[in-house]
């Protein structure tokens, strides 16, 4: 499942970041590493971007950018 498919209030674990180049490197540097838990805080009013919480800080990604992150163990909950 992709990160972009999650709903508000769901938590998932990062499996991998697809792609290559500077964008993939930037996601990895921001903490989207295998095993990291990501909480979907909220979507913007027009459903783009997504506000996420990982490793204690807030990150906003566009939906098409979040589609590059594969996740598993999706559940409801807070961080």
Question: Which residues have CB under 8 Å from 54's CB, separation 6+?
Answer: 30, 31, 32, 36, 37, 38, 39
Confidence at residue 72, expressed as pLDDT on a 0 to 100 scale: 94
Q: What is the mean pLDDT of residues 62-75?
A: 94
Q: Which domains does the chain have, with CATH numbers?
A: 3-76 (2.30.30.90)
Confidence at residue 77, expressed as pLDDT on a 0 to 100 scale: 76
Confidence at residue 8, expressed as pLDDT on a 0 to 100 scale: 93
Residue 78, pLDDT > 70, answer no
CA distance 9 to 40: 5
DSSP code of residue 7: P
Confidence at residue 13, expressed as pLDDT on a 0 to 100 scale: 96
CA distance 79 to 56: 8
DSSP code of residue 34: T
The predicted-structure confidence for 12-54, as pLDDT tens digits, reads as follows 999 999 988 999 999 999 999 999 999 999 999 998 999 999 9
């Amino acid at each position: 499942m992709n990160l972009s498919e999650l709903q508000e209030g769901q938590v998932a674990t990062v499996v991998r970041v697809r792609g290559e180049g500077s964008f993939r490197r930037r996601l990895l540097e921001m903490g989207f590493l295998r095993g990291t838990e990501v909480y979907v805080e909220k979507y913007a009013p027009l459903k783009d971007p997504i506000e996420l919480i990982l490793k204690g800080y807030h990150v906003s990604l566009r939906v098409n950018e979040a589609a590059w992150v594969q996740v598993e163990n999706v559940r409801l909950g807070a961080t």
